[in-house]
Amino acid sequence: MPFQAYQLALKVIAEAREENVASISKEQARIAGLKKRYNLTEDDQRIKAMREQIEYYKIQADINNPRVRYNFQNGVSMYYHGRRA
């Protein structure tokens, strides 16, 4: 029973991650549309706010992943001295 509950939890986490990834794609498309329509640059306040929202979605996509949480709590990094491990 605990294994089934864990598998179900992983499924729910994966679904939430997919929602966040979809939100990232939508936000990137909105940025591209605004830049094209209004000739905005990356320095525009709206674009900066949207980029911050994308960063938030990126964090939220993996925040509940058990492997990511374990690595964070134990100080394990995917980068080692500036290079990918």
Per residue in 50-66, pLDDT tens?
999 999 999 999 999 99
Mean residue pLDDT of the chain comes to: 91
* C-alpha to C-alpha distances, 3 to 9, 62, 65, 70, nearest whole angstrom: 10, 21, 16, 18
Per-residue pLDDT at 83 exceeds 70? no
% of the chain beyond a pLDDT of 90: 78
* Mean pLDDT within 40-51: 96
20 Cβ contact list (under 8 Å, min separation 6): 57, 58, 60, 61
Structure tokens at 13: 């986490």
Give residue 81's pLDDT: 52
Strand locations in 4-82, DSSP E?
Answer: 79-80
Structure tokens at 3: 């294994």
pLDDT classification of 76: cutoffs 50, 70, 90: confident
Per DSSP bridges, beta strands 83-84 and 79-80 are: antiparallel
